Chain A
Amino acid sequence: QVQLQESGPGLVKPSETLSLTCTVSGGSISPYYWNWIRQSPGKGLEWIGYIYHSGSTNYNPSLQSRVTISLVASKNQFSLKLHSVTAADTAVYYCAKMSAHWFDSWGQGTLVTVSS
């Protein structure tokens, strides 16, 4: 059973870049889709985007202008960068694996607070 673990700063200043990494263990990056999803009290669960094992990406249009998801297959890691953050980006951020079309493995989540 694959396991995922998010890591990164828990506090980010407004207008700066939120950066998170997800480390995958117990399985291969291929041939799956690797996702970022966030959860906030105000907006519930929100899909941010995914990167396929080939490197192709698909982002939520609501965040597309600010999001970059990248993959380091050799390290079994993928990462999220969210630029120009505001308080509205405060949330628990999850990484998740998508085998077919649903999210079948999730990390435990990491709380990121945007505040000065």
Chain B
Amino acid sequence: DIVMTQSPDSLAVSLGERATIDCKSSQSVFFSSNNKNFLAWYQQKPGQPPKLLISWASTRESGVPDRFSGSGSGTYFTLTISSLQAEDVAVYYCQQFYNTPYTFGQGTKLEIK
């Protein structure tokens, strides 16, 4: 199985400041045949299911604010929130879909400082 490891486990950031969450995979999730990274990011608020934010490591889903961005390749990825808003308080997960079993990171809890 591909192990996904996120850091940090929790993060407190002031409103309007940048938040950065890292995700590392135990093996590369880059698929050379289509030149894409098989990685997604999700946001989960209390009492709700995860919501897809980003696919292919850097492609924002429709309706996701542009303050959310994804970057990275191979085994190392980052989710950045450029200017934290109160509604961004949530737990964030990365997930690889390079092969089955699909696996998730352990989650990063983002709070307001």
Contacts and interface: CB of A to CB of B under 8 A. Distances in A.
A83 B4 CA distance: 28
| Interface SS, B side | loop
A32 interface: no
B79 interface: no
Contacts of B103: 47
A47 B101 contact: yes
Given A45-B93, A62-B101, A100 B55 contact: yes
B89 to A, nearest CB: 18
A40 to B, nearest CB: 12
B49 to A, nearest CB: 4
B97 A104 contact: no
Interface residues of A, number: 19
B95 A107 contact: no
Given A44-B107, A108-B49, A109-B49, A102 B97 contact: yes
A102 B101 contact: no
Contacts of B102: 47
Given A101-B38, A102-B97, A44 B106 contact: yes
B106 A107 contact: no
Contacts of A61: 101
B106 to A, nearest CB: 5
